[in-house]
Amino acid sequence: MSTCQLTGKRGLRANRVSHANKKSGRIQLPNIQSKRIWVPEEGKFVRVSLSTRALRTVTRGGLYAFIRDGGLDFKTFGLEGPASN
């Protein structure tokens, strides 16, 4: 199942309902896109699989800020993270 690496969005369980009102299970998948995002703090591209909602947020504030504010691990995305002095 497709999952957003940044927000953790996953598919939702729902019912497909026929005209006769018969219900059968289905999964509503999020809109997950695979993107290469430029990280100016480290001067390199990072490939991530993220939802379009997360992509809009990353476009506005940057991937570094999203990871830092969300409490995620920089190493998961192949980044060094901020230098700890």
Q: pLDDT-based confidence at 66, cuts 50/70/90? A: very high
**Whole-number Å distance between alpha carbons of 31 and 50:** 8
The identity of residue 50, as a single letter, is L
Min mean pLDDT across 44-48, 63-67, 77-81 is at 77-81
**Whole-number Å distance between alpha carbons of 18 and 73:** 44
Residue 25 resides in a domain: yes
Residue 82 resides in a domain: no
Residue 1 resides in a domain: no
pLDDT, mean over the chain: 92
CATH number of the domain within which 65 lies: 2.30.170.40
Residue 81 resides in a domain: no
Dihedral sign (CA 40, 57, 69, 3): negative
Domain, as residue range, for 68: 12-72
Question: Mean of the pLDDT values across residues 43-66?
Answer: 94
| Share of residues in the chain with pLDDT > 90 (%) | 85
Residue 48 resides in a domain: yes
**What pLDDT score does 85 carry?**
43
Residue 28 resides in a domain: yes
For the chain, the domain total comes to 1
